[in-house]
């Protein structure tokens, strides 16, 4: 047996109100732009004088066996209305938020850059070099840039009045004191350190040095880093070990070194050191690339450093016993390494402080 409420057309006035209120709830919330208005409309259903309250009041007038069912229907309507209201409220909030978020910005506008500076490329290279040599056990030492001729040449076993001094054409300083010059290498620091410290010692000395040269690859002032290691039984193979370790940690694990005999008065034997070209990477065995490499001119090697075993005469000059101690020394041009690394072809750019240059590093 079917109840009349389940049967369309067989409904009483109560059912008709339920149906129409259900209909009304679907549309009445739409388009309302204000939360208070939404709540006021909601009250026309659920408020103290709302239609649902009204319907509840009518339940007793329904036949006893249908009251329960009537109650369920009213509850269903109540939930329906709540649901419509929530949806409308959420939509209203969403619309409001969208409005508040505004239009999208033009993300192609320039970023507001916090003021940022940069270290000079020579400083960056120097700091890296010092870090590498520190881990190899070297200490950093510094010294004056204007120094005695004696410390720059004589103590380093440069023969007096010898063409070897032409390799380092010096700027002399006007003074009433002994012959004084702008140091041509930071080996002056090594002399000073050895004069004031007992062996063993291991130092690197970075700093500005000065020679009377001025062209695209030579600057009258440039940066150098020299190293010195003095101990008992130091050998050439130790020098080579340190250079290998340096090349691998600074330039990369594949980068090997090559030593060629050369001459510096303060070392014996002396060598020029090449590293495998870091541009055409000869270890990858791409012969064509190496042949075409403009940086190493096809040789596969880049000259970066001079070195050797400390000349016993140097030790005699600073009061170390050459029979007991031996050592090695090396020197590299920081500018040269920076120029190689960053592919700078004109050394003068390094000292002009053009911001367009500085901000690239």
Partner 1 sequence: MKASLQWLRELAQLDTDPTVEEVSQALTGLGLEVEAVQAVGRIDPKVVVVEVQSIEPHPSDPKLGLVRVVTGQDSVTLVSRVPQQLSVGDQLVWAPPGAHIQDVDASKPQVVQTREFSGVPSPGMLCSESMLGLTESTELWRLNGGHPGGDKHNPNPVHGTPIQEAARTQDHILEIGLTPNRPDALGHVGIARELCIRFNTPFQIPHYDSQSLEAFAKTEKGIPVRLRAPDACPRYWAATLEGVAVGPSSSPVRRRLHSLGVRPISNVVDATNLVWLQWGLPVHAFDADKVQGEICVRYATEGETLATLDDQVRILESQDLLIADSHSPIALAGVMGGKASEVTASTTRVILEAAYFTPQGIRRTSKRLGLHTEASHRFERGVDPLGPHHAVSAGLQWITRLAGGELQAATFAQAETQAEPTSIQVSIPRAFERMGKPLDRNTMEQVLRALGCTIENPIAGETPSAGDVWHVRPPSWRPDLRRQEDVVEEWMRVVGYDHFQGVLPAPMPAVSLPAHDAQPGKLGQTTPRTFGFARRVRTAMVSLGFHEAISYAFVADSALTRARVPTNAVTLQNPLSEERSVLRTSLLPGLLESAQRGLRHQRVRVDLFEWGTVFHTRDASADNPLPVERVHLAFLMVGDRGDWFRQGSPVDFFDGKGVVESLLQRTIPSFDLRTLQWALPTTDGRIPWFHPNQSARISDAHGNTLGSCGTIHPEVAAEHDLPSAIYGELEIEGILRLEQGCGPPTLEPLPRFPSTSRDVAVLIKKSVTLEELRCSISQINIPWKRTVRLFDVYEGDQIEQGYRSIALRITYQNPDQTLAEQDVDQAHGRLMEHLKNALGVRFR
Q: Which 58-97 residues touch partner 1, going by CB under 8 A?
A: none
Residues 28-57 that bind partner 1 (CB under 8 A): none
Does residue 339 interact with partner 1 by CB under 8 A?
no
Nearest distance from residue 228's CB to partner 1, in Å?
11
Residue 357 is a binding residue for Zn ion (CB under 5 A): no
| CA-wise closest residue to 80 among 135, 36, 19, 122 | 19
Q: Does 293 bind Zn ion (CB under 5 A)?
A: yes
CB-count exposure of residue 77 (10 Å: 0-12, 13-18, 19+): buried
Chain positions 138 to 157 lying near partner 1, rule: CB under 8 A, are: 139-148
Asked if 82 and 26 touch (Cβ cutoff 8 Å), the reply is no
CA distance 71 to 59: 7
Nearer to Zn ion, 63 or 284 (CB): 284
What distances in angstroms separate CA 305 from CA 12, 201, 213, one per listed residue? 107, 21, 19
Span from 19-27, 134-142, 211-219, 289-297 in contact with Zn ion (CB under 5 A) = 289-297
Q: How far is the CB of 146 from partner 1 (least distance, A)?
A: 5
Q: Which is nearer to partner 1, 55 or 239 (CB)?
A: 239
Contact window for partner 1 (CB under 8 A) among 68-76, 88-96, 97-105, 159-167:
159-167
Residue 19 token pair: 């149906």
What single DSSP character describes residue 310?
Answer: E
Binding piece for partner 1, criterion CB under 8 A, among 42-50, 61-69, 227-235, 285-293: 227-235
User: Which position among 214, 254, 284, 346 is part of the footprint of partner 1 (CB under 8 A)?
Assistant: 214
Tell me how crowded residue 56 is: count the other CB atoms within 10 A of its CB: 15
Four-point Cα dihedral 90, 91, 97, 100, nearest 10: -140
Say which residue the tokens 């940690």 belong to: 249
Number of residues engaging partner 1 in binding (CB under 8 A): 99
Query: Taking CB under 8 A as the rule, does residue 252 contact partner 1?
Result: no
Structural Rg of the chain based on CA atoms: 44
Q: Verify binding: residue 276, Zn ion, rule CB under 5 A.
A: no
One residue of 69, 82, 154, 231 binding partner 1 per CB under 8 A: 231
Environment class of residue 176 by beta-carbon count within 10 Å: exposed (0-12), middle (13-18) or buried (19+)? exposed
- Give the range of 148-156, 191-199, 265-273, 275-283 binding Zn ion by CB under 5 A: 275-283
Which of Zn ion, partner 1, none does 4 bind, CB closer than 5 to 8 A by kind? none
130 contacts partner 1 (rule: CB under 8 A): yes
Three-state DSSP class for 308? strand
Query: What tokens appear for 202 in the block?
Result: 């291991």
Among 125, 202, 203, 277, binds Zn ion (CB under 5 A): 277
Of 27-35, 57-65, 135-143, 287-295, the segment contacting partner 1 by CB under 8 A is 135-143
The answer to whether 122 touches 221, Cβ cutoff 8 Å, is no
């Amino acid at each position: 047996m079917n109840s009349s409420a389940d049967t369309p057309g067989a409904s009483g006035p109560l059912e008709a109100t339920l149906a129409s209120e259900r209909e009304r709830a679907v549309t009445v919330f739409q388009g309302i732009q204000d939360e208070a208005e939404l709540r006021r409309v909601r009250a026309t259903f659920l408020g103290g004088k709302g239609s649902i309250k009204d319907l509840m009041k009518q339940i007793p007038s329904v036949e006893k066996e249908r009251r329960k069912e009537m109650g369920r229907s009213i509850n269903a309507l109540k939930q329906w209305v709540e649901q419509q209201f929530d949806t409308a409220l959420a939509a209203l909030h969403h619309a409001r938020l969208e409005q508040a978020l505004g239009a999208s910005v033009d993300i192609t506008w320039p970023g507001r850059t916090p003021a940022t500076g940069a270290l000079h490329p020579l400083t960056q290279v120097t700091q890296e070099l010092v870090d590498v040599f520190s881990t190899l056990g070297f200490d950093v030492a510094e010294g004056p840039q204007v120094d005695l001729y004696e410390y720059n040449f004589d103590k380093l076993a440069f023969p007096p009045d010898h063409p070897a001094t032409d390799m380092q054409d010096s700027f002399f300083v006007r003074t009433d004191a002994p012959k004084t010059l702008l140091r041509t290498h930071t080996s002056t620091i090594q002399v000073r350190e050895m004069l004031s410290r007992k062996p063993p010692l291991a130092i690197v000395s970075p700093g500005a040095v000065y020679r009377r040269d001025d062209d695209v690859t030579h600057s009258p002032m440039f940066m150098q880093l020299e190293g010195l290691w003095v101990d008992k039984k130091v050998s050439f193979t130790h020098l080579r070990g340190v250079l290998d370790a340096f090349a691998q940690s600074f330039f990369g694990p594949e980068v090997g070194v090559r030593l060629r005999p050369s001459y510096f008065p303060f070392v014996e034997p002396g060598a020029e050191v090449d590293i495998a070209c870091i541009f055409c990477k000869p270890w990858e065995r791409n012969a064509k690339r190496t042949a075409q490499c403009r940086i190493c001119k096809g040789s596969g090697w880049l000259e970066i450093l001079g070195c050797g075993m400390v000349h016993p005469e140097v030790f005699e000059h600073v009061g170390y016993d050459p029979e007991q101690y031996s050592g090695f020394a090396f020197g590299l041009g920081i500018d040269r390494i920076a120029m190689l690394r960053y592919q700078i072809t004109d050394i003068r750019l390094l000292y002009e402080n053009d911001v367009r240059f500085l901000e690239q590093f």
